[in-house]
Structure 1
């Protein structure tokens, strides 16, 4: 029976409860010093997690099949899981630890659902790997919400302040973008918004019906979400990405990222098989877009609002194509320039907002199963999924232990390639989850992306030196 204090699950949350689109976020955090599991459990028990409504609520379903959040008492032992010592997990190098952590994440991607008998989150502490893995059901909230709350429980290493307290940087960037867009004829600007929005809407409708990428060595499809997975990590430094960004006027880190993806995929496809590949062949990605008025990490006081007004899944998606190009004797920076043109057009559209409100409309009119099937079809007709979350750029501690990295991935979707990038302390880690029967060598794919950025940096450095002179 529904209680008057129960809170309905949001439409986006209901979408993530459907079998075709159910997602669990797996966030891995590494530490500099050996872990003290009991101290970490105590730290979590006294943290903001225990005060937030989503982390203290069961998911319940009434007689009519409607989902609600219901407050409950938390037993911390059911949520903080200390893994027993396992000699097979001991490792001699960072690379070996990384491989073992990624193997655990790959198992979580297909075979470890969260119990509905308790609030939908867990924290796994693995002492041998100096690592903990947070697991959250996506119905609880998106990456921005969860990262904001997690960093609010952390302290900056330099001064002991909240790790999320540098949130205002994003607001300043937003102001700079508005100023840049404000130049020129406003009427022409409105026409561009209308035109690119129409094209974006047509893309979404086409992908939900029949339009799909030509088959390549990295294509997935219906049922691939059930296949065994492998996970690898591509590592970048933000300074390298900024070096490339500075050589191209008004470029952003996201422009560089999509240039890296285009160049990296081209390298990988050439190594696997160049037969059937056409110059300029489209490889389409589905990218998540934060729709909150304030970009980036969120203010903790508003996240803790009893009504959860800023919490939840507040994002749409964009269909972002990259293209295969022959990499022999190619200028690496051209991949970034092409990506910038594409992303600039997408920024001028309201396609992401359309995807969000179209999903809500489908949910209310036809129900969550229809909305789930539509999203699943779009995923089947594209090649990869990507998200990018900007974390704190200051070294931070959790339970007094300095963190060395933060990575995130999710359970499987029908795309054969899923990429989730998180930046922390000047570094960016991109977790690449692949269907191993389609892409048996994800470490090589990760190396293709890393090499792509290094080649771009090499090509950019002469231009940077000339600019300084």
Structure 2
């Protein structure tokens, strides 16, 4: 599978670009963590780029190479000191450090971070870190929407966008309870 010309540009050492999405949740992560990992596994089986790494061929062309993926290598649940009333400072520091860190080119270029700590704005935080080679913001939002709305007659049709007239299953409660979505479009390496 060939990498697009824009993907090749975004993969250069001087212009590495990631999309970072920070989602504040109204419920603790442990309520839906196993469902989230299951959905991530489904994404891997149906979206080849999420289970591939970019490699440069002898002719200088960058291509995607499928690789074995262990979801646990891409899902992070940090541990902070227990029993604090607010974790705002810890979360801010964690996010800042994450934004400065490069994704490893030896494994697929995405991560999920689940911070199960209460902050001023929510009960927990989910952070998605995706290299821009995997898609632009619009395509990644479309993919996320496809995974969050599935036809009730066939829940395995995960990548089909649902029209407003289709019958679809109810979204999980945690999706309805997302309080805010802050998207940061930076992360130059």
Q: Is the 8 A contact 1:27 1:406 kept in 2?
A: yes
Give 1:132 deviation, angstroms: 1.2
Relative to structure 1, is the Cα distance of residues 103 and 86 closer, same or farther in structure 2, using a 3 angstrom cutoff? closer
Q: Are 2:182 and 1:403 equivalent residues in the alignment?
A: no
Aligned to 1:28: 22
Q: Does 1:106 align with 2:106?
A: no
Q: Give the distance between the partners of 2:42 and 2:85, measured in 1 at CA.
A: 31
Check if 1:135 corresponds to 2:160: no
Take 1:120 and 1:89, find their aligned partners in 2: how far apart are those partners?
34
The Cα shift of 1:413 comes to 5.0
Match of 2:11 in 1: 17
Gaps of at least 5 residues in structure 2 are: 119-123, 153-158, 162-170
Coordinate RMSD, CA, aligned: 3.2
8 Å CA contact 2:41–2:71 kept in 1: the answer is no
Residue aligned with 2:59, SS: coil
Describe the SS at the equivalent of 2:177: strand
> Which residue pairs with 2:168 in the alignment?
none
1:23 Cα deviation (Å)? 0.6
Q: Which residue of 2 aligns with 1:301?
A: 160
Change (3 A) 1:135 1:398: farther
Whether the 8 Å contact between 1:56 and 1:73 is mirrored in structure 2 is yes
What is the distance in 1 between the residues matched to 2:27 and 2:106?
34
The 3 A distance-change label for structure 1 pair 30 and 13 is same
Q: CA deviation at 1:101?
A: 3.8
Q: Summarize the Cα distance change of 1:80–1:412 in structure 2 as closer, same or farther, 3 Å threshold.
A: closer
**Is 1:82 equivalent to 2:72 in the alignment?**
no
Alignment correspondent of 2:104:
115
Give the Cα–Cα distance (whole angstroms) in 1 for the partners of residues 11 and 104 of structure 2: 13
Partner residue in 1 for 2:156: none
User: Number of residues paired by the alignment?
Assistant: 169
Q: Which secondary structure state, in structure 2, belongs to the residue aligned with residue 87 of structure 1? A: coil
Residues of 2 paired with 1:62 and 1:89: CA distance?
A: 51
| Greater helix proportion | 1
**1:301 match: secondary structure:** coil
Q: Which residue number in structure 1 is paired with residue 155 of structure 2?
A: none
Q: Which runs of 5+ in 1 are unaligned?
A: 1-6, 161-299, 303-395, 415-469
Partner Cα distance (1:77, 1:45) in 2: 10
Between Structure 1 and Structure 2, whose CA radius of gyration is higher? 1
Q: How does the TM-score come out when normalised to structure 2?
A: 0.73
Cα contact 1:31–1:401 (8 A) shared by 2 = no
Secondary structure at the residue paired with 2:160?
A: helix
Q: Deviations over 1:90-144 (max 9, x none)?
A: 443xxx63x65444333233x3111111111111111114011111001111000
- How far apart are the structure 1 equivalents of 2:94 and 2:111? 15
> In the alignment, which of 42, 50, 55 is matched to residue 50 of structure 2?
55
Q: Shift in Å at residue 87 of structure 1?
A: 1.9
- Cα pair 1:153 1:398 within 8 Å, conserved: no
**d(CA) in 1 for partners of 2:173 and 2:42?**
11
The alignment's TM-score, normalised by the length of structure 1, stands at 0.32
